[in-house]
């Protein structure tokens, strides 16, 4: 019983470690995308012949 519990806990610890690494990779990717978005984003204006009521 104790051996199964220890194995279970080790498996969960390994899973947590893998998930922490994945979270780190995803956070780095989000930061990269945000940096790139700030560099490349420029205002876009709609061009239309219609006037907008004020």
How much is the pLDDT for 37? 85
How much is the pLDDT for 38? 79
Its pTM stands at 0.61
How much is the pLDDT for 1? 92
How much is the pLDDT for 50? 67
How much is the pLDDT for 48? 65
- How far is the CA of 54 from the CAs of 22, 35, 44, 48, 51, in angstroms? 50, 36, 21, 16, 9
Residues of the chain with pLDDT under 50: none
């Amino acid at each position: 019983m104790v051996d199964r519990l220890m194995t279970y806990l080790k498996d969960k610890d390994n899973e947590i470690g893998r998930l922490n690494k994945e979270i780190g990779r995803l956070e780095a990717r989000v930061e990269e995308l945000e940096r790139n978005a700030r560099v490349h984003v420029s205002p876009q204006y709609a061009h239309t012949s219609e006037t907008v009521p004020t």
